[in-house]
């Protein structure tokens, strides 16, 4: 699974860099190349911009710091994938998306000292982003949903096991009580039989 994960990371990074190469080569800075419309309304457009910070231009100009943070995050995700802690293929794939997105933007910061962004949402005010950003967001959301879903299932199974164990204990207690009651009833019955037999013997002796 690790080998497949690394192949997926390479393919995603190559896709990200290929798109950015096209943007840099064929679209001037701040120029809009294409706009996707529905019913006369602009939804998305391809617009060439540069970002020297993180999302919403956070830490703008702190290129070295952003490179260090990205490198640490990438190695952390790589460690999680290699550790084999996550058994589901979906979780590993989502981690691969996060890793690929981080590497894609890290290459930009090292190569250009800034990130190449180009996808603009025209129907709402949102920072322009790129394919690498999509990989990170999709990977993070998918991984969190998968992890929470699995944890929910595990908790339900644990609860079912505990309730099952408690149910068996209660059953054993009830069965034990039933046996005790039957034993007492049997003893009472035996005593009554003995008393009855004694009284008959006494009558016979008198007669």
Active site residues: 117, 133
The residue whose two tokens read 């003995």 is 194
Backbone angles phi, psi at 51, to 5 degrees: -130, 115
Report the C-alpha gap between 133 and 118 in whole angstroms.
11
Give SS3 for 126: coil
Q: How many CB atoms lie within 10 A of CB 167?
A: 10
- Asked if residue 32 lies in contact with residue 44, where contact means CB atoms within 8 angstroms, the answer is no
Report the C-alpha gap between 203 and 207 in whole angstroms.
6
- Asked if residue 103 lies in contact with residue 5, where contact means CB atoms within 8 angstroms, the answer is no
| CA distances from residue 26 to 16, 17, 42, 105, 131 in whole angstroms, order as listed | 16, 14, 22, 20, 17
């Amino acid at each position: 699974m690790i080998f497949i994960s690394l192949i997926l990371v390479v393919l995603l990074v190559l896709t990200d860099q290929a798109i950015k190469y096209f943007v840099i080569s064929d679209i001037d800075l701040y120029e809009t190349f294409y706009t996707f419309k529905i019913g006369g309304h602009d939804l998305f457009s391809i617009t060439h911009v540069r970002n020297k910070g993180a999302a919403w231009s956070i830490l703008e100009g702190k290129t070295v710091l952003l490179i260090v943070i990205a490198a640490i995050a990438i190695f952390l995700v790589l460690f999680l994938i290699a550790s084999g802690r996550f058994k589901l293929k979906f979780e590993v794939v989502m981690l691969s998306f996060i890793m690929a997105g981080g590497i894609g933007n890290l290459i930009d910061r090292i190569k250009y000292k800034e990130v190449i962004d180009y996808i603009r949402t025209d129907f709402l005010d949102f920072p322009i982003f790129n394919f690498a950003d999509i990989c990170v967001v999709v990977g993070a959301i998918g991984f969190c949903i998968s992890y929470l879903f699995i944890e929910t299932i595990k908790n339900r199974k644990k609860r079912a096991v505990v309730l099952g164990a408690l149910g068996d204990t209660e059953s054993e207690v009830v069965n034990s009580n039933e046996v005790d009651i039957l034993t007492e009833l049997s003893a009472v019955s035996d005593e009554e039989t003995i008393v009855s037999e004694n009284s008959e013997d006494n009558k016979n002796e008198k007669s």
